[in-house]
Amino acid sequence: MANSITLINPTSIDEAGQPIPLPLGLASLSAYLIERDVKVNICDMNFKNKIEEETDWYGITSTLKSRITIKEMPEFNGRTVFGGPDPSSDPEYYLEFGDYVIRGEGEKPIYELITGTDPSKTSNLSYKTSTGTQHNPKGPLLDLNKLPIPAYELFDVMKYADTYDETKGLRWLPIVLARGCPHNCYFCAHGCVFGIGWRAPTPKKSVDMIEKLLNLGELDGVHIGDSMFGYNIDWSEAICREIIRRKLKFMWFCYKRVDSISTERLALMKKAGCISISFGLESGSQKTLDAVNKRQTVDAGRTAIALTEANGIIPLANFIVGTPGETEAELEKTEEVWNDLLDKHDVIIVPSIYYPLPGSVFYKRHGEQVSEISRERLEEAMRRVKMRMKEKYGTSGSVL
Ligand code: SF4
């Protein structure tokens, strides 16, 4: 039976100037394993390039941004298991580099795997066999109230906060409270990791998690990375009230759907320290919104931006261009909305170009296919809106 594992965050290749996020998945796995007497070492290759202590197992998280650097990792003197968002949606890729891949929630499968459960009986596991690749069925999703609070303290958290400070001018750290998303936008592979649905720790435990992170250093605030903060309105309002009750003073940022806000809710969020909300507007074309299964209207997006700004919270508007089936006419409508929003509001536009994510509905339907609009045209549209923001705010990207 193994009793030690090194959890590794590989180097993340990103556009210059992006902060390095605290690997929250590894923090949660660590707490789960330590609670069960497994010795855990941490190595973040963004800050140190060698693994100092040999262990029985090596657990490596990965995102799209670390796909390339995975290829350059050292040989490990032990068994290797990959997990995280990208391995969950494309396990075959990672089985070229490691012994196992865990798809989806990793706490229980990694514990079972490294403590000797037969791999064929370990849920969520993928591995190679003499006849091909075995993908074991997924196990039940975890009750987040039974998980320990992530072991943030195993990481030198202020190093991560410093990378936010260097790039954004604020000492922030990310945190994830709830897991999952009940929606199914066709370009998104979120469901691969946490399933379609939404689970959350109690509001009290959620604020305990935030407070633990805040107590680890002098932070300006936290970035609540839940894909859908406030899917459950009562839960998110209870969190705001608990922050106010505990008199915690910090700034925070979150993601919400455009149809989940109201003046009263925004006022409560602001009182609790929320300074900015990011919304997925995605497109200025209703045809595209319907085609990506966003289940919202262009007008609802405009209204959310106006209401958020009116309540003293900075709105961010995310857009995705170049999805399968999108045409020049739809792109032009999106550009019109960008210009109109920037004319009328102090909003930050966050555009991105569609990337076919294995695990998404679009990937299943269209594979690597993207829209007929050329890459140059999409990049030109992005350049123009970023230039407009630079003229207006002095910076072309999000300050958060
Ligand atoms: S884009 Fe956001 S709302 Fe849509 S499925 Fe993904 S996480 Fe959920």
CB 227 within 8 A of CB 255: yes
pTM over 0.95: no
Atom of ligand 1 nearest to the CA of 182: 8
Residue 294 C-alpha to ligand 1 middle, in angstroms? 8
Pairing of strands 39-44, 57-61: unpaired
Question: Using CA of residue 385, residue 387, residue 388, residue 390, what is the dihedral sign?
Answer: positive
Find out whether the beta carbon of 357 lies less than 6 Å from any atom of ligand 1: no
Rounded distance between C-alpha atoms, residue 142 and residue 109, angstroms = 11
Give strand pairing partners of 353.
321
Nearest of 293, 149, 276, 180 to residue 221 by alpha carbon: 276
Mutate to test the pocket of ligand 1, among 190, 255, 296 (most ligand atoms within 8 A of CB): 190
Q: Quote the ligand 1 centre to 156 CA distance (angstroms).
A: 30
Strands 132-135 and 125-129: antiparallel
Q: Going by CA atoms, what residue is nearest to atom 4 of ligand 1?
A: 185
CATH T-level assignment (fold) for domain 4-135: Rossmann fold (3.40.50)
Whether domain 156-393 has CATH 3.20.20.70: yes
List the chain domain ranges: 4-135, 156-393
Q: Mind listing the pLDDT tens digit of every residue in the chain (400 residues)?
A: 558 999 999 987 665 568 899 999 999 999 999 999 999 999 999 997 678 788 999 999 998 888 888 888 888 889 999 999 999 999 999 999 999 999 999 999 999 999 999 999 999 999 999 999 999 999 999 999 999 999 999 999 999 999 988 888 899 999 999 999 999 999 998 887 787 789 999 999 999 999 999 999 999 999 999 988 988 999 999 999 999 999 999 999 999 999 999 999 999 999 999 999 999 999 999 999 999 999 999 999 999 999 999 999 999 999 999 999 999 999 999 999 999 999 999 999 999 999 999 889 999 999 999 999 999 999 999 999 999 999 999 876 665 6
CA–CA separation, 150 vs 176, rounded Å? Answer: 10
DSSP string of 334-359, one letter each residue:
HHHHHHHHHHHS--EEEEEE----TT
Place of tokens 């409270």: 177
320 lines ligand 1 (CB under 6 A): no
Q: Which atom of ligand 1 is nearest to the CA of 257?
A: 3
